[in-house]
Structure 1
């Protein structure tokens, strides 16, 4: 937590990596790790109720996610869409492709580009800053 990074070991491509955390994300992790009802035998940060076998699995967010989507009127919206949005906003914020790939875990620039959807309105602002002679 002092370094504000999290080590992901169970990843899509089976390669562990360190991911930097924002200050807000670091606070969420601290609160979760200091949860007074956190079982001592559970190594999960966000844990759910014990299953039939008595072991705790990851927190199941599906019910709350679906409620939030319904309330917002976003029927055709998947949790994974947030990854596309985050990658696009990081690029627009000025992070390099390599920096964004280090955060998102994309192994190739081709896949990173597939996830990046820049807003034309933001490109207009950048174009206005270019001095063309």
Structure 2
């Protein structure tokens, strides 16, 4: 285990995570999904690829792009701003 964690810590985390998912009604949700969401929102907030990679720990821009999922409605708003200028 990394960072001195015991197997008991991992089981405790898993139990709490599963309880939280059940309470929220998110059965098909993984903790890792939060990384996808965070990366996408950081890009939409205007941070550069390099800045987002530094925050998220992605080693390559290719992998960062795989994690970035932009919302269509946000892209439409940006395109409208360009058109209006």
Structure 1 length-normalised TM: 0.54
Computed over aligned residues only, the root mean square deviation of the Cα atoms, in angstroms, reads 2.5
Does residue 83 in structure 1 map to residue 35 in structure 2?
yes
Higher relative contact order (CA 8 A, sep 6+): 2
Aligned counterpart, 1:74: 26
Using the TM superposition, give the Cα deviation of residue 128 of structure 1 relative to its aligned residue in structure 2, in angstroms.
Answer: 1.2
- Pick the structure with more helix per residue: 2
- Pick the structure with more strand per residue: 1
Rounded Cα–Cα distance in structure 1 between residues aligned with 2:19 and 2:10? 19
Using the TM superposition, give the Cα deviation of residue 125 of structure 1 relative to its aligned residue in structure 2, in angstroms.
Answer: 1.1
Larger radius of gyration: 1
Is there any run of 5+ residues in structure 2 with no aligned partner, and where? none
Deviations 1:71-95 (A, max 9, x none): 1211111001111111001000000
Using the TM superposition, give the Cα deviation of residue 61 of structure 1 relative to its aligned residue in structure 2, in angstroms.
Answer: 2.0
Match of 2:67 among 112, 115, 119: 115
Structure 2 length-normalised TM: 0.81
**Alignment: residue pair count:** 83
Runs in 1 of length 4+ with deviation above 6 angstroms? none
Is there any run of 5+ residues in structure 1 with no aligned partner, and where? 1-9, 11-42, 52-56
